[in-house]
Amino acid sequence: MSFPLAEWIDGHPHCRHNLAVSGMIRSIPSPVPSAADVRRARPEELRRRLSDDLGVDDRRVFLTTGASQANALVLLFLARNRRGTSSRACRVCLPEYPPLFDDAQWVGFRLTEGAEPAELALVSQPRNPEGDLWDRARFLEWAADARSVLVDETFREFAGSRTLLGTGRPRLWATGSFTKFFAGDDLRVGFLVAPEESADAFARFHGLMTNLLPSYSVAGALRALEDRETIRRRVAQIVGRNVTAAKAAFPRVRPPKGPVLFDRPESEETGDSLARRAVAKSVLVCSGSFFGDPSGVRLCLTRKSFPEDLRAYLAVRDRGHRARAGGTVGRPSVRGRAVVARRPPGGSGRARAGPS
């Protein structure tokens, strides 16, 4: 079983124009460790390298099989240790990556977009699906009255930005992955950074709930870090060209810092309708309904074929615009301050590592 966004992507592998995959897999070479790399790979070394990059003590860094597992572990740990049954609010900013808010609900949090004090605030930076990157002042203001904060920084390498761990914000958790920027899907390596005050308690929890990573995975992640500058040049060449194409197609949209952008058609056609029409023409995009905002679709800028794929998408979108006489923009249902994220037909599911 999978979660709905991944099921949608995995269920249409033969589309000629794929604008749905947010990582660099098959666009750049994936990290491949040598046999010698595997023999000498040590998790402690990977944790040390990550701690040096992030500017934190290595005792705060924990390895996982991906960002999805990292996020789930943090949410489960925080849910178990929240202050009381009356404090269950989890602040989100839709649209947002679905496993983040789905997992939060699974472990007992109540989603809200309101200004009420929250037990937890969670957000991706750069954001998935909009690709925008908040400045530090905006982030700190948004998270100000939340007891704990979880930031998914899976797309941070694309932006070349500093981690938010350096803001000094207390009770801040951060997660990351080698599957997007580094094209390390086969490695299955992610990580999380716990706050100083929670590191010891989380270490015991992590040891109980997870297994050691295979030596191949550790070696591949170390190889990716060693080759980062070569990878960065390759990624910048591909994504930079695609951002230029996106700017020409969407002049009113701020160029994304992450490898994704969110298109809301002027025709006000819903994302569900547009995604279905597109896939019928062998163009794969992801409806905003997966992300809690059905007013548009997510496009990914990771494929070398993006300019051609974008033209195919625009042809489908504009054909629908000419055919429609009007309509209303779908929005997430809001009951008071509690958010109910809408879904395409098929319902919700648990997160797993895979296309996103």
Rounded Cα–Cα distance for residues 142 and 206 (Å): 29
* 109, 205: one domain: yes
What domain range includes position 333?
Answer: 4-26+229-340
Question: What tens digit of pLDDT does each residue of 268-310 get?
Answer: 999 999 999 999 999 999 999 999 999 999 999 999 999 999 9
Specify if 71 maps to a domain.
Answer: yes
Query: Would you say the C-alpha torsion 307, 257, 228, 203 has a positive or negative sign?
Result: negative
Asked if 300 contacts 26 with a C-beta cutoff of 8 angstroms, the reply is no
Specify if 259 maps to a domain.
Answer: yes
Asked if 136 contacts 31 with a C-beta cutoff of 8 angstroms, the reply is no
* 171, 238: one domain: no
Confidence of residue 219 (pLDDT cuts 50, 70, 90): very high
* 161, 310: one domain: no
* 93, 209: one domain: yes
* 150, 11: one domain: no
Question: What tens digit of pLDDT does each residue of 7-19 get?
Answer: 999 999 999 999 9
CA 203 to chain CA mean position, Å: 24
Question: What tens digit of pLDDT does each residue of 299-320 get?
Answer: 999 999 999 999 999 999 999 7
* 13, 40: one domain: no
Tell the residue number behind the tokens 């301050």, with chain if given. 337
* 106, 173: one domain: yes
Read off the CATH number of the domain in which 127 is found: 3.40.640.10
- Which of 226, 258, 278 is the endpoint of a domain? 226
Specify if 348 maps to a domain.
Answer: no
Asked if 123 contacts 152 with a C-beta cutoff of 8 angstroms, the reply is yes
Per-residue confidence (pLDDT) for residue 85, from 0 to 100: 55
Question: What tens digit of pLDDT does each residue of 119-176 get?
Answer: 999 999 999 999 999 999 999 999 999 999 999 999 999 999 999 999 999 999 999 9
Query: Prior bond to 126 cis, omega within 30?
Result: yes
CA distances from 179 to 137, 220, 272, 280 (A): 29, 11, 27, 29
Specify if 356 maps to a domain.
Answer: no
Read off the CATH number of the domain in which 334 is found: 3.90.1150.10
pLDDT at 328 over 70: no
Per-residue confidence (pLDDT) for residue 1, from 0 to 100: 62
Asked if 177 contacts 204 with a C-beta cutoff of 8 angstroms, the reply is no
- Which residues pair with residue 146 across a beta bridge? 118
- Which of 168, 198, 226 is the endpoint of a domain? 226
Structural domains of the chain, count? 2
* 42, 130: one domain: yes
* 13, 75: one domain: no
Specify if 174 maps to a domain.
Answer: yes
Specify if 108 maps to a domain.
Answer: yes
Rounded Cα–Cα distance for residues 245 and 5 (Å): 25
Q: Which of 141, 76, 65, 139 is nearest to 103 (CA)?
A: 76
Per-residue confidence (pLDDT) for residue 341, from 0 to 100: 43
- Exposed / middle / buried, residue 68 (Cβ in 10 Å: 0-12, 13-18, 19+): buried
Rounded Cα–Cα distance for residues 286 and 232 (Å): 26
- H helical segments located in the chain: 4-10, 35-40, 43-54, 67-80, 98-106, 136-142, 156-159, 199-209, 215-226, 228-249, 271-280, 306-323
- Tell me the pTM: 0.90
Tell the residue number behind the tokens 């490898």, with chain if given. 259
* 46, 195: one domain: yes
- Which of 209, 226, 243 is the endpoint of a domain? 226
* 73, 211: one domain: yes
Confidence of residue 82 (pLDDT cuts 50, 70, 90): confident
Specify if 316 maps to a domain.
Answer: yes
* 53, 157: one domain: yes
282's enclosing H/E stretch is none
Joined tokens for residue 192: 């999380």
Specify if 114 maps to a domain.
Answer: yes
- Please, which residues have CB within 8 angstroms of residue 166's CB and are 6 or more apart in sequence? 55
